[in-house]
Structure 1
Amino acid sequence: MDPELFLDVANYIKEVHHIAYPLFDVAHFAMSCIHVRDDMSPNFLVVSRKHPLACWISCMLSCFAGYILANALLGEMPLAPLKDPKEVGLASLVWYLIFYSPFDIVYTLCKWFPVKLILSLLKEVQRVHKVHAGVHHTAKMYPHAYLVQVIIGVVKGAGAGFSKIAERFIRGTWIPTGHEFLQPTFPTKACAAAALLFVAEANTTYITAPHSFVYLGVVIFFVYFKFSSMMFSIHDPFMPLENLFCATFMGGVWDAISRALMSAREKPATKVPGVANGDADKKKL
């Protein structure tokens, strides 16, 4: 491919979120509301019909979780994302269609695999935009706080995972163990990797590629693994690396050695009674 053409494509992908507004926001809102609705099962009808306010609040929290949590961590107004009536109105319209469309046609259409695949891939493109925006915004406030930049990037990109426990609590379900710190999902891990890459690109000289190329590479990474997870059930490519890291540096090796030593000590102890009985039998003879 011509390098100039490739650079133009990279620049277009970087700005496509603004060019194609509100396509990516609609995809994000739709997938967020679908996730909340699926998480309600089998109490979907009870919550949506008898408690529509709780249903709406939990969906809005999921739709704007990244911005709300990031603002709260940075000392800004947490409800600032809700000040735009156009965004709130669009999210509310998507919520209403997902939960209350006639004959459930909108939800059924969005769950149809080709449509769901398109919505999911659009959501991943927007997720990269959120991670980058979070890192860039935090870098302006705290230029040398690299860990804070990574944290805000992760929160903005995967905020719905961290707000899940609050969403369930609003709907009357309390599952204290169901949160990202105990069970991090692939989007959270991918957002962490992307945030680290964006921070390293901005603060080191090791990455010499143009910023648009780096951004495009992250988009391809997110889209590729989302496509793979939906088509081939490849859900977490980080798992083998995590298992190797934990086995090597988080006590796995020493635990295995301890178990081997314990089993080696127990084997002679189990043989002693048998030897003693054999000697006693010889004496009787």
Structure 2
Amino acid sequence: MANASVLSSDPAEAAVQVGRYLIDVDMFPVFLMAHFCIACLMIREDSKDLGPKFHQNHPMASWVSSVLTSLAGVFVTNFLFGTAVVDIIKEDKLIIVVTIIWYFMNYGPFDLLFKVVRLSPVYMILALLQENLRARCVFQGLQMATKAYPGAVIIVLLAGVINGNGYGYVKIVERLIRGKWVPGSNDFLEVTYFAKSSLYASGAFMLQSSGLIPVAEELVYLSVVAIFMIFRITITMTSFKDPLLPLEQPAAKLLFGVGDKKKQASETTGKVENGKVETKKRR
């Protein structure tokens, strides 16, 4: 593995080194813990309309929802590819770390972890770390599906999308565990930015591996990570829920007759959705 601390003086070679480092760097514990913090925060925030003390009155539902959200991509991928859904539970280290973070996020002294994670600078750092993890999940999902189903383009693409946005496809089930029924909130009915960006990233990785994008794998990976991070900053710092909409709208209107969705892009809900702390839109 290239040593990211000693970069080449050649910008192109330095970019390849950084890309290789990001591909090879261990996601545990830093990147995964950042993701777990945001997942547990999201569950607590999304439970506010179920009662101010839902997490205290229903600790089992809160814990199961937090674990399912934290490892959603693995659960869904295992289900679709014929692996036992509960196989991930064999990873004791991950379950223990999620449980510790869940506990201190919901029951820690003075709500300290909850309050710290909600601070804008801290949340931004965690979100950017999470985007690095999401790029890795897309990349690894493609690799896993390619080995299992070589030549099956749709299956390989599906694996990348699911691994990069697992929560979007288990959201209904996860909310049912907490007694919350919102059938209109799913990534099939309303395709989110996180689903679309995972799809585009999967397509880019596949085009590169097939030789249609004639650049190094490391450069494509680095580009995906950079774009993910830039868009996450945009989502977190502005009112846009989907920065891809302005780019997609002309084509969508031409192909499907889709109306103006700019209002959707600027709406905020006062909840945490897909790892973003949102506030109500001012009128």
TM-score by length of 1: 0.84
The answer (yes or no) to whether the contact 1:158–1:187 under 8 Å persists in 2 is: yes
1:150 aligns with 2:174: no
1:231 aligns with 2:231: no
2:60 is aligned to: 53
| Paired residue secondary structure (2:49) | coil
1:75 aligns with 2:82: yes
Displacement of 1:198 in angstroms is: 1.1
Q: Which amino acid aligns with 2:68?
A: L
Q: Which residue of 112, 117, 120 maps to 1:113? A: 120
Identity, % of aligned positions:
33
Q: Say which one has the larger Rg.
A: 1
The answer (yes or no) to whether the contact 1:37–1:44 under 8 Å persists in 2 is: no
| Deviation string, structure 1 residues 198-229 (Cα, Å, up to 9, x no partner) | 111112x2211111111001000101110122
Q: Which residue of 2, 7, 25 maps to 2:16? A: 7
1:220 is aligned to: 226
1:129 aligns with 2:136: yes
Q: Which amino acid aligns with 2:97?
A: L
Larger deviation, residues 26-35 vs 46-55:
46-55
Question: How far apart in 2 are the matches of 1:47 and 1:108?
Answer: 17
Gap regions ≥5 residues in structure 2: 1-8, 260-283
Question: How far apart in 2 are the matches of 1:5 and 1:242?
Answer: 32
Displacement of 1:45 in angstroms is: 3.8
Displacement of 1:4 in angstroms is: 2.6
| Deviation string, structure 1 residues 78-115 (Cα, Å, up to 9, x no partner) | 11111111110001101111111111110000000110
Displacement of 1:31 in angstroms is: 0.5
Gap regions ≥5 residues in structure 1: 254-285
The answer (yes or no) to whether the contact 2:48–2:54 under 8 Å persists in 1 is: no
| Deviation string, structure 1 residues 34-64 (Cα, Å, up to 9, x no partner) | 1111111133544211211111001111011
Larger deviation, residues 140-149 vs 229-238:
229-238
| Paired residue secondary structure (2:213) | coil
Aligned length: 250
The answer (yes or no) to whether the contact 1:34–1:98 under 8 Å persists in 2 is: yes
| Paired residue secondary structure (1:163) | helix
The answer (yes or no) to whether the contact 1:161–1:180 under 8 Å persists in 2 is: yes
The answer (yes or no) to whether the contact 1:225–1:234 under 8 Å persists in 2 is: no
Question: How far apart in 2 are the matches of 1:14 and 1:252?
Answer: 37
Q: Structure 1 residues 222, 152: CA separation in 2 closer, same or farther (over 3 Å shift)?
A: same
| Paired residue secondary structure (1:225) | helix
1:164 is aligned to: 171
Which structure has greater helix proportion?
Answer: 1
Question: How far apart in 2 are the matches of 1:206 and 1:250?
Answer: 28
Displacement of 1:251 in angstroms is: 4.3
1:22 aligns with 2:33: no
Question: How far apart in 1 are the matches of 2:258 and 2:73?
Answer: 35
Q: Which amino acid aligns with 1:232?
A: T
| Paired residue secondary structure (2:78) | helix
The answer (yes or no) to whether the contact 1:30–1:94 under 8 Å persists in 2 is: yes
| Deviation string, structure 1 residues 12-43 (Cα, Å, up to 9, x no partner) | 12222x1x630001001001111111111133
| Paired residue secondary structure (2:85) | coil
Q: Which amino acid aligns with 2:226?
A: I
1:87 is aligned to: 94
Q: Which amino acid aligns with 1:14?
A: I
Question: How far apart in 2 are the matches of 1:8 and 1:201?
Answer: 18
